[in-house]
Amino acid sequence: MWCRRSKRHALTRLPKHGGLYAWEFNKDGHELNVRVQGQLVFNSSMPMLRAALAGFGMACVPEDMVQEHLAAGTLQRVLEDWCPAFPGYHLYYPSRRLSSPAFVLLVDALRYRG
């Protein structure tokens, strides 16, 4: 979770299936889901990050999105010991048969590690 140094309002995100997303925390095997309430609601992480950078409140976003802002000091990490480790992104798809050429190209690009 990351926040700008000023205001204390939460910035919430909508999930795919309705209702507000509960922020997920984990510490020493203890899981905690918090339904935050805020004045702003987003359906993706980038607008939430921009709002946090503008000083509108706290945002719960993936760490790789905020690395440069943490280094620059424009954002600061809060509740670090409660934030679950992020093992990385995953791609799920139902079958390898009948994949479009564009999809095959995407999978190959994601597998490439330069």
Whole-structure pTM value: 0.63
Mean pLDDT of the chain: 79
Question: Worst-scoring range by mean pLDDT, 11-20, 56-65, 68-77, 98-107?
Answer: 11-20
- Average pLDDT on 77-97 reads 76
Q: Which pLDDT tens digit goes with each residue over 36-49?
A: 877 888 888 899 99
User: Shortest CA distance to 66 belongs to which of 46, 84, 93, 44?
Assistant: 46
2-84 CATH fold: D-Maltodextrin-Binding Protein; domain 2 (3.40.190)
- Highest-confidence segment of 52-56, 80-84, 91-95: 52-56
User: CA gyration radius for the chain?
Assistant: 17
Q: What are phi and psi of 50, to 5 degrees?
A: -60, -40
